[in-house]
Structure 1
Amino acid sequence: MTTVALERSSAFARLDNRRVEILTLSPEMKGRDRERELHEAGTLDRKVKIRSLWQDLTSWSDRKLRRMVGTVDPDPSAVDDVLNRSGRDWTELREDSEGHLLQADRYHDRGHLLVIDRQDMKKRGRRGGRRITLFDRDQKVIAQWGSAREFYQAWLDVVIGDKPSYLICDSAFVGNFIHEFRRDNVILCMVNHNHFLADADDEPTGALAEDKFGYLRHLDNFDLATTLTDSQRVAMERLDLSAGKLTTVSNLTDDLHGDPYRPRARHKGSMIARLAPQKRVEDAIVAVADVAARGRQITLDIYGDGEDRPMLSELIQSKNAVDRITLRGHVEGAKSNFLASSFSLLTSRYEGQGLVVLESMSAGCIPICYEVDFGPADIIEHGVNGFLVDPGDVDGLADAISTFLSLSEDEVSAMRRNAVSRAADFFERPIIRRWGEVLASQSFAPIIRAEGAHAEAQSAEVTANGIAITLRVSDLKESTLTQTFVSWKSRAGTFYGRVEARRSGELITAEIPYSRIEHMTGEYVDFSLDLVFDRGFERVRIACGEDSVIRTSDQVHLYSTKHGNFSGRLVRTDLTSTS
C-alpha cells in the first residue's frame, strides 16, 4: 500500500507537474530523513514532499500553532499533568502496569513542552477519556481536543487552508475517522486496497472487515471511493455500501520492458508473496512438487518473508523439493526476477488487485493464478495471457503448470506478447489519466448538511419475507435528497448493511429481506436513516415513540431502546423467505 501511494504521488508530480504532499500522522516519521532517502533512491519524485504532523508541530512558531482550532473549552490546569522529563528525547511516556499508554508528552525542537496527550481522563491510571493539549513556549494552553481525530483535523485545516485540494486516503486506519473531515474546498477520496469482508470466503451479506469497518459504513461521507477492480466495485455496490460514490481506478505498474521473444528456461518459475496465511504459498509448493513428480523439469524461486517460513521450509523438505523450490527471503527489487522467469504463481486467498500479477505480465512472465476475489479475473484472459485456476484447487494448479510447460514456443511467445500488451493498460500514463478523469468529475459545490433532521418509526412489522418499515422524516429544511437508505449496524462484531428506501413527501418506506440479516442471529442491531445529497451525507438514528406501531415475531424482536430509538434482535437461526 505504501509503495502504491509513493508511486502514484510521484506519477502525479511527473506527468502533471503538480505539487504533491504525502501526509503522515506517525510520531515515528518526525524528521525529514526518510524523505531524503526516498528522493536519493529515486523512489520519490523531487516534487513530492512528505509532511509529518509532528515535524510541523515541533518546528512551528507559536503564531502558526495558534492556527490550530480546539474543540473543547481550554483548561489551563492541564499543564499540571506534565511528566518529569527524563532525558533530551522529544517524547515522555506514562504507561500502566500492563504497558498500555496513558499519557504522551511531546516537546518542541526548542525544548519547551508542546503537547500533553492524556488518555486516562475518567480515572487516573485507567485508560478512558482523552484530552490533547497544545501549549505555547510560555506553557500557556493554545487549544485542546477531546479526541485524536479532532486534533488531526485541526492540523489538516492548517495544512490545507482554503485552497481547493484533493485529499486521497490510502490507510484504512485513517479512513475510519477521516470521513468526518468534510470541507467545501476538499475533495475527499478513499482508496479501498483489499477485501472488504471479514472473511474472504464469507457470504456477501456477512460481517465487514474489522480494520475497515469505520469507513465502509460511511462511504457516502466521501466525495469519491475507489476500488482497484471492477469485480470488487460491483460486489460492494450489490450491498448498497455506496450511493454512486464507488468507481474503479487500478493500481499502476512499472513498465519492466519485458521481451516476449527473449529465450527463457521454460521450467523456471518465480513467486513474490509474503509468507503468511493469506498468500497460501503452501499450495504453490505442493503443486510444483506434484509437477516434478510427474517427471517434469521445474524450479520455483519464492521471494518474500513472514511467519509461515518455518512451516514452508518443512513442507519443501517433506516433498523432497529442496533442489527445486527455494525460499529467497525478502529481496529488494524482486520483481526484476520476472524478466528471467518463464511463469509466476499466485495462490492467495484474496487480493485487492494482485500487483505482482501485473508486474509478472509486464516482464513477459506468464501468470498462473487462483481465480480469487479480487483481481486475477479482471486482468487475465485464461489461456490468452495467463491461466486461471479455481481457488484452492492444488491439482488444478499443477495441471495448469503442466499445460504451460507443454506449449510450443510459438504459443508461449504469443502469450508473452499478450501479457505485455495487457500490462500496458496499467502503466503510469493510462492510470494517471484515469485518476485525472475521476477527480475532475468531482464538484467543489458546498457540502449539504442536515444535522437537524429527525426520523421516527411510524410502523415496523416482521413479515414472511423480512422487516417492513415506514418512517416519517422532518426538519430537512431546504435540503434536496437524492437517495435514502435504511441502514443497520450490530452493537458487537462488524455486521452492517442497508437497503434503499422509497420516499413520498415526509414518509419513507423500506423492506429488509431476511437474506440481508440472517447471518446476525443473536446480535442486537440499531437502525438508522441514511440521507444522501448531491454533496453531503447524514445518518440519523430512528426514533421509536409511543405512537409507533411495532409488530414483532419469534424470529425477530423489534423494540424501542431506553433512549427511544428503534432497534432489534435476531432471535432464531431458521430465518427463511417465502419469496
Structure 2
Amino acid sequence: MNNIPETSPRQSHPHRFPHRGLLPEGSYFTLTWTIGYDYGGMTTVALERSSAFARLDNRRVEILTLSPEMKGLDRERELRAAGSIDRKVKVRNLWQDLTSWSDRKLRRMVGTVDPDPTAADDVITRTGQEWTEQRNDSEDSLLQADRYHDRGHLLVIDRQDMKKPGRRGGRRITLFDREQTVIAQWSTARDFYQAWLDIVIGDKPSYLICDSAFVGNFIHEYRRDNVILCMVNHNHFLADANDEPTGALAEDKFGYLRQLDGFDLATTLTDSQRVAMEGLDLSAGKLATVSNLTDDLHGDPDRPRPRSRGSMVARLSPQKRVEDAIAAVASVVADGQQVTLDVYGDGDDRPMLSELIESGNAAGRVTLHGHVDGAKSNFLSSSFSLLTSRFEGQGLVVLESMSAGCIPICYAVDYGPADIIEHGTDGFLVAPGDVDGLAAAISTFLSLPEDEVSRMRRNAVARAADFFHDPIVRRWGEVLAAQPFVPIIRAENARAEVRTAEVTADGVSVTLSVSDLGGSTPEQMFISWKSRTGTFYGRVEAHSSKELITADIPLSRIEPITEEYVDFSLDLVFGRGFERVRLACSEDSALSSSAALHLYSSKHGNLSGRFIRDGLTSTS
C-alpha cells in the first residue's frame, strides 16, 4: 500500500468502458450523511459533480451515505428516475449493507477494542418488527439503539451510556452474527464508520470527496495510504458572516476547519474564501479553489422576454434575506416602474414574507410559488434575477441565471457574487443590505437600451460557460492529480514542551522544544489555540532556531476571544501527515502573564490561558 504510483489526469488504463483521462486513475467516492427528499444546494452539487465525473470521464462513482434513515430506501433508483444522477453513479448506505450482508461479509468489519461477549445482555426487549429499537432517557436523548438484520436477528447494539447507566456518556458499538456471537466492537461511531469504509474502498488507489460538514467533522481522521481524502467547504467558514476574520468559526464546521491539514485536499468554491482562510493559517497549503459546476441551460441572449420580469430561487430563510428583494421591488413600483418578481422556494419565513407582500406595494407584484422542481428553468424566460443573501458559498443560482441569459442583480456578499460577476458587464453588484441600492440597480436595468441588455446577456452566458461541467471536471482532475499517493507520516508519540511563554504588549510569545518525532521532520509547524467552549480557533506559523521552536501570536488574533479559557497546541505538518500535540509545561517552564491574560499549567500539565475580565485568577 506504500508503493502506489503517482498518477496523471491524462493517464488512461484499459477498461471495459475506457476512461477519458479527465481525472487521475483510481476509484471515486462521494461521502455524505444522507440524501433526503427535500435536499438543498450542497446535496445538489454533490449529485451533479458525481454525475459529471461519471458521464464525462466514463467511470463509475459511488455515493456513500451513513445515515440509518437511508435504510430501506431505494434512493439510487429514485434519483436516477428523476434524472438527478447518471446511470454510472451508485448510491450505497452503511446500514443497507450491514443489514443485508451474510455473516461471512460482516466478519470483514474490524473492531478497535477487545470484544466483550457480555454485550449481548444489553439487548432491549423487541416490541415489534421495526428494524430499530431505541432506549431514551427522561429528556428523550438517545441512550441505546439496537439494529436488526433483514433476516430478523439482532445485528448491532449501539449503547451510549457506558459510563453510568441512564446518563449519556461512553459508547460501545457491538456487531453480532446470527448466533448472537460478538463479531467486533468499537468505542466510537467514527471508528465504526471507518471499518465500513475500509471494506467499501478496499486497498486500491481511491479518491474520497466529503461534502457533508457533519461528516467532515470526524472523517478527517480517516487516513489511509491508498485514499486521497478531500473536504469540500460549501459555505461561509465564520460563525458570523459579517464578523472580522479573527472571530469564531462556524459551529457546524468547527470540527473539520481546525483539522484541515488532516485532509489531503480541502476545496473552496471561490478564490476570495480560499485567500481569507489562508490568511488565518487554517491550512498549510492544502486549500485549492474548485468552483461549483452548473448546467448549460442554453440561454438565448436574443430571446424576447419581458424586461420587467424578475425571478428568484431561494429558501425562505433568514440567510436568504428575501424581505430585501420584496422591499426593493416595492420601491421600484412606488417610483412608477413596472416590475414583477417570482420567488421559487419555501421555508419558515413564508408567513412573514406573505404579510410583507400584502402590506406594501408588492401585492400583485411579488409571487411566492413555494418549492418547484426545476425552478432554474424559469430563468430562461425571466429578464433579471435577484440574490439578497447574507452570505453564500458561491451562489449556484447566480451561475444558473447567467447560463440562462438572465441578468443577476446581487448583494456583493462573502462569498461568490463578486468572484463571478463583473459589475455592469454581465450583472450588477450592490452593497450587502443596501435595499435602496438594490432598487436603484433594478431601475437602472429596466431603463437600459435594448442593445445594451443584449450585450449583457451574451456576456452573462459566456461567463457561465467557465463553470459548465467540462471545465470544472478538468479542474478537479488537476487538483486531484497533484495529490501523491505517498505513505502517511505518523508521529503519535511526539512531545512538545514549553520553555517560555510570555504575554507581551504585542500578544503572546512562546518558545518550546519538540521530541519523539519518530525520525520525521515536519514541513511546517504552527502554534494553535482553541477556546475551551465556543468555536474560537486560530494558529500562527512557528519557526525553528537551533534546538528551539518559537512563535508569536499577535494581540489582534486573541483579543476577539470572548470565552474564558483557551488551550494551546503545536501542529506538525508532514505533507500527508498531521499531528496536533498539547504544549506540556514542566517545573522548568517560565510562564509570564498580564492583567488581561493569565498563562498557567492545566491540571493535565499543559499550557492554557484564562482571560481576566472579573479580577479573578483561578485556573482549571
Query: Where on the TM-score scale, by shorter chain, does this alignment land: which range?
Result: over 0.9
CA contact (8 A) 2:531 2:563 kept: no
Q: Which residue of 1 aligns with 2:510?
A: 469
Correspondences of 1:177-216 after superposition (within 5 Å):
177-216=218-257
Deviation at 1:490, TM superposition (A): 0.4
Instruction: State the TM-score, normalizing by the size of structure 1.
Output: 0.98
Between the aligned partners of 1:178 and 1:521, the Cα distance in structure 2 is 29
Between the aligned partners of 2:341 and 2:86, the Cα distance in structure 1 is 35
Q: Say whether 1:246 aligns with 2:287.
A: yes
Correspondences of 1:347-358 after superposition (within 5 Å):
347-358=388-399
Between the aligned partners of 2:549 and 2:382, the Cα distance in structure 1 is 60
Residue deviations 1:83-105 (CA, integer Å, cap 9, x gap): 11112221111112222111111
Correspondences of 1:1-400 after superposition (within 5 Å):
1-31=42-72, 33-400=74-441
Q: Where in structure 1 do 4 or more consecutive aligned residues deviate above 3 Å?
A: none
Deviation at 1:504, TM superposition (A): 2.2
Q: Which residue of 2 aligns with 1:490?
A: 531
In structure 2, what residue type is equivalent to 1:555? A
Correspondences of 1:445-456 after superposition (within 5 Å):
445-456=486-497
Between the aligned partners of 2:159 and 2:546, the Cα distance in structure 1 is 48
Q: Which residue of 2 aligns with 1:555?
A: 596
CA contact (8 A) 1:260 1:416 kept: yes
Instruction: State the TM-score, normalizing by the size of structure 2.
Output: 0.92
Between the aligned partners of 1:525 and 1:502, the Cα distance in structure 2 is 22
Between the aligned partners of 2:466 and 2:490, the Cα distance in structure 1 is 40
Deviation at 1:11, TM superposition (A): 0.6
Between the aligned partners of 1:443 and 1:370, the Cα distance in structure 2 is 40
Residue deviations 1:11-60 (CA, integer Å, cap 9, x gap): 10111111110000011111351110111222111111101000110111
Correspondences of 1:413-492 after superposition (within 5 Å):
413-492=454-533
Partner of residue 569 from structure 1, selected from 610, 613, 620: 610
Deviation at 1:521, TM superposition (A): 4.0
Deviation at 1:572, TM superposition (A): 4.7
Between the aligned partners of 1:518 and 1:213, the Cα distance in structure 2 is 20
CA contact (8 A) 2:533 2:563 kept: no
Between the aligned partners of 1:127 and 1:199, the Cα distance in structure 2 is 31
Residue deviations 1:497-546 (CA, integer Å, cap 9, x gap): 00001112431000001100001145201000000112111100000110
SS in 2 for 1:67: coil
SS in 2 for 1:519: coil
**Higher relative contact order (CA closer than 8 Å, sequence separation 6+):** 2
The 1:201–1:107 alpha-carbon spacing in structure 2 relative to 1, beyond 3 Å, is same
The 1:147–1:522 alpha-carbon spacing in structure 2 relative to 1, beyond 3 Å, is closer
Residue deviations 1:161-188 (CA, integer Å, cap 9, x gap): 1111100000000000000000000000
SS in 2 for 1:261: coil
Identity of aligned residues (%): 81
CA contact (8 A) 2:115 2:185 kept: yes
Deviation at 1:63, TM superposition (A): 1.2
Between the aligned partners of 1:500 and 1:251, the Cα distance in structure 2 is 31
Q: CA RMSD in A?
A: 1.1
Q: Which residue of 1 aligns with 2:31?
A: none
CA contact (8 A) 1:521 1:572 kept: no
Q: Which residue of 1 aligns with 2:6?
A: none
Deviation at 1:61, TM superposition (A): 1.1
CA contact (8 A) 1:474 1:506 kept: no
Deviation at 1:483, TM superposition (A): 0.5
Between the aligned partners of 2:586 and 2:334, the Cα distance in structure 1 is 71
CA contact (8 A) 1:482 1:534 kept: yes
CA contact (8 A) 1:135 1:142 kept: yes
Between the aligned partners of 2:547 and 2:200, the Cα distance in structure 1 is 41
SS in 2 for 1:168: strand
CA contact (8 A) 1:170 1:193 kept: yes
Between the aligned partners of 1:360 and 1:207, the Cα distance in structure 2 is 33
CA contact (8 A) 1:484 1:502 kept: yes
CA contact (8 A) 1:522 1:572 kept: no
Between the aligned partners of 1:42 and 1:175, the Cα distance in structure 2 is 27
In structure 2, what residue type is equivalent to 1:485? F
The 1:343–1:59 alpha-carbon spacing in structure 2 relative to 1, beyond 3 Å, is same
SS in 1 for 2:457: helix
Between the aligned partners of 2:395 and 2:320, the Cα distance in structure 1 is 11
CA contact (8 A) 2:498 2:513 kept: yes
Q: Say whether 1:408 aligns with 2:449.
A: yes
Residue deviations 1:258-290 (CA, integer Å, cap 9, x gap): 000001100000001100000000000000000
